[in-house]
Structure 1
Amino acid sequence: MRTQTRTLIAGAVALCLASGIVGGLLGAWWAPGDQPAAVAQTATGCDVTDVAGRVFPSLVTIQVAGAEGSGLGSGSVLDREGNILTNDHVISSAAAGGRITVDFARGAAGVPATVVGRDPSTDLAVLRVAPGGATLTPIAAGDSSALVIGQPVVAAGSPLGLSSTITAGVVSALNRYVDVGQGGQPSALVNAVQTDAAINPGNSGGPLVDCSGRQVGVNSAGAQVPGGGGGSIGLNFAIPMDFARSVAAQLISTGKVTHPSIGVLAVTVTDEMARATGLPRGALIDQALPGMGAARAGLREGDVLIDVGGKPVDSVDEMLVAVRAHSPGQSVQVTYVRDGKKQSAPIPVSAL
């Protein structure tokens, strides 16, 4: 079974794919001087007032100034050590010696921040403020692999610099691959969550949360009609939190990210897809990249990965996290289903 939505398991190579959206309509908003404000809405089944109260203590506005210009974005507090998760494109103009400050939605303003680490290929970055410089309230972590289409979600951030702004909507699609590379810099949103909750310039890096205020995504990009102009058109994308957490953990630990890869492009077999096709839940291989681990181990298009390294996987997110638990040069034992039969094979892990 083939689909337009492809996910690069390494997350480090940009592919020019439309992700199921009419070609040419996607335009990622990059300038850290992010724009249009949005008004809080009511999402069916979601008490947005309660969500705002839970999220705002963990929400920050990020101000940057560097040789390439100045602007702003959003972020969320990860822990009490002062680590803050955001998009790489929010802080990239100041990463090489500029000034970065953080305003807490419910706390101190103008707090100096330093770059812990960046991963431009996945558009994620971690900043750090001194623990004594502000009251730090870590955001609750949600499970992005449990998201379902139609589920209410709330986006928080500072569109057009208007801090403490929230918008509400639903998960409108899952498993999008969005190529957001700029010029010669490859970058992609891996297995992105699509939502109609308005994400405008300034929301970049801020949290997408569920009705309990748990972060399930990092707001990153919005589609624009050809010619640009205007604000959100209801096609907006967030990096799944399961994946963002794994990248952030590496950045906090080492300041950089190694992208282990088994060399496949895959999509999630959802419950709906499983009912329609008879396939098991898992990661359906759309392409095994020639010369890389999966292809060398004999895996091919149409195989469904259901276990990686002893960890059951129901989605591409879970497979990404499982693969990232291994280092390049190691082998990972993978169980997959081909023509209704389970098989297993050791797959060499490469670095990208």
Structure 2
Amino acid sequence: MIRITRILSAAAVCVLAAPALTACTGGVFDGEQAERTAETDSLEANYQQVVETVLPSVVEITTANGLGSGVIYDDAGHIVTNAHVVGSATTFQVTPAAGGDTLPATLVASYPTEDIAVIKVEGTLPGNPATFADSTQLKVGQIVLAMGNPLGLTGSVSQGIVSAVGRTETEPRTADSPGTVLADMIQTTAAINPGNSGGALVDLDGNVVGIPTLAATSTGSGDAAVGIGFAISSSTATRIADQLIADGKVVDSDRAALGLTVRGVIDESAKPLGVGVVAVTAGGPSQQAGIQPGDIITAIDGTAIPTVTELNVFLASKKPGDQVTVTITRAESSMDVPVTLGEM
């Protein structure tokens, strides 16, 4: 009712006063419309410029088991993608998303813990290496474009915003991925579908800010949750990719670890009781703190740890060198053990 009243009131003013009517039809309103049109045209031109600049740096990666996307990383032919895109394959076919010849490629190295892999093309790709931004500068609400090959639709682009930063998400176990906990994820409304994995999440300056990796699904139906997707931050992707290229492996994970081999512990009704310690790493943080095989971890810093997944999620939020208090059960007695976290 209030909105209708105001609209009618505004209309009445224009009808009653001829000068106001003139202003409504040929002055302020037309000027505002022209300004909005100019702003829209400018934004549209910005989108088009970003696509023209970045899409040639995006490729389609085909394996015997499926396809995904990748981003040209450097002039040496290295392409960064998701570890779950390469899976267990070591050879690939790479096709530029913007068009061009298909070229063979081989695996450089894969790091499933952060779901990042690097492959190398044999030959010359037509696109230039993408520019990767410092994703720590991302702001919620920032416009981003997702570029890749969803459902085999080569060179597709979707638009959205940054919905959140610093998310920690659990990647499900599949035939191509052991499953892992990914920290520092970017949540976006840009559409991310199968085939987008490994592609580029790009800001309006034409910089890659993330690697699209996960699409959310409804807990009940399993259907895609529209407008909720996740990308590995560019800061994480470049840190891992640089190590894979230089050393063939990750030598500095920056991921916290307790130095344990663990398994889930349940009661007779299958209710999770905690995380059982199977073995401790010699000289590792848990051994130094006095944690022993047979102990059951039930909490860390007061946060309940009923399963291995919860343990991994907690550790993903910490850094090597952080000090935590681990609550364990030993011989039916509970105790708190201070631990300085090591590195994975």
Task: Give TM class, smaller chain.
Answer: 0.5 to 0.7
Q: Does 1:128 align with 2:120?
A: yes
Deviation (angstroms), 1:122: 1.1
Deviation (angstroms), 1:120: 0.8
1:113 to 105, 112, 117: 105
**Counterpart in the other structure of 1:240:** 233
Deviation (angstroms), 1:256: 1.3
- The percentage of counterpart residues that share the same residue type is 38
**Aligned-partner Cα distance in 1 for 2:240–2:84:** 15
Deviation (angstroms), 1:59: 0.7
How do 1:1-352 and structure 2 match up within 5 A? 47-65=46-64, 70-95=65-90, 99-130=91-122, 132-182=123-173, 185-225=178-218, 226-229=220-223, 231=224, 233-258=226-251, 259-263=253-257, 292=285, 350-352=342-344
* Contact in 2 for aligned 1:157/1:207 (Cα 8 Å): yes
Greater helix content: 2
Provide closer, same or farther for how the CA distance between residues 43 and 220 of structure 1 changes in structure 2, counting only shifts above 3 A: farther
1:117-151 Cα offsets, whole Å, 9 max, x none, are 00011111001012x43234100111100001111
TM-score, normalization by structure 2? 0.61
* Contact in 1 for aligned 2:257/2:343 (Cα 8 Å): no
Secondary structure of 1:193 counterpart: strand
Provide closer, same or farther for how the CA distance between residues 348 and 136 of structure 1 changes in structure 2, counting only shifts above 3 A: farther
Secondary structure of 1:114 counterpart: strand
**Aligned-partner Cα distance in 1 for 2:41–2:238:** 26
Deviation (angstroms), 1:181: 3.7
Secondary structure of 1:223 counterpart: strand
**Aligned-partner Cα distance in 2 for 1:146–1:64:** 35
* Contact in 2 for aligned 1:79/1:136 (Cα 8 Å): no
**Aligned-partner Cα distance in 2 for 1:170–1:145:** 16
* Contact in 2 for aligned 1:43/1:153 (Cα 8 Å): no
Provide closer, same or farther for how the CA distance between residues 170 and 127 of structure 1 changes in structure 2, counting only shifts above 3 A: same
**Pairs aligned (count):** 237
Structure 1 unmatched runs, 5+: 1-41, 265-290, 303-316, 324-331, 335-346
1:145-196 Cα offsets, whole Å, 9 max, x none, are 0001111111000011111110011000111111104069241222100000
1:51-87 Cα offsets, whole Å, 9 max, x none, are 111111201011111xxxx211001000000000100
**Counterpart in the other structure of 2:265:** none
Provide closer, same or farther for how the CA distance between residues 348 and 219 of structure 1 changes in structure 2, counting only shifts above 3 A: same
**Aligned-partner Cα distance in 2 for 1:232–1:157:** 19
What amino acid is aligned across from residue 119 of structure 1 in structure 2? Y
Provide closer, same or farther for how the CA distance between residues 261 and 140 of structure 1 changes in structure 2, counting only shifts above 3 A: closer
* Contact in 2 for aligned 1:62/1:74 (Cα 8 Å): yes
**Aligned-partner Cα distance in 1 for 2:80–2:256:** 27
Provide closer, same or farther for how the CA distance between residues 151 and 43 of structure 1 changes in structure 2, counting only shifts above 3 A: farther
Secondary structure of 1:182 counterpart: coil
Secondary structure of 2:226 counterpart: coil
What amino acid is aligned across from residue 94 of structure 1 in structure 2? A
* Contact in 2 for aligned 1:205/1:219 (Cα 8 Å): yes
* Contact in 1 for aligned 2:202/2:210 (Cα 8 Å): yes
* Contact in 2 for aligned 1:200/1:232 (Cα 8 Å): no
**Aligned-partner Cα distance in 1 for 2:167–2:97:** 30
Which structure would you say has the larger Rg? 2
**Aligned-partner Cα distance in 2 for 1:43–1:255:** 46
Deviation (angstroms), 1:45: 5.5
* Contact in 2 for aligned 1:45/1:152 (Cα 8 Å): no
Structure 2 unmatched runs, 5+: 1-39, 259-283, 290-299, 303-315, 323-338
**Aligned-partner Cα distance in 2 for 1:192–1:43:** 32
Secondary structure of 1:121 counterpart: coil
**Aligned-partner Cα distance in 2 for 1:107–1:79:** 19
* Contact in 1 for aligned 2:97/2:149 (Cα 8 Å): no
User: Structure with the greater relative contact order (CA < 8 A, sep ≥ 6): 1 or 2?
Assistant: 1
**Aligned-partner Cα distance in 1 for 2:221–2:126:** 43
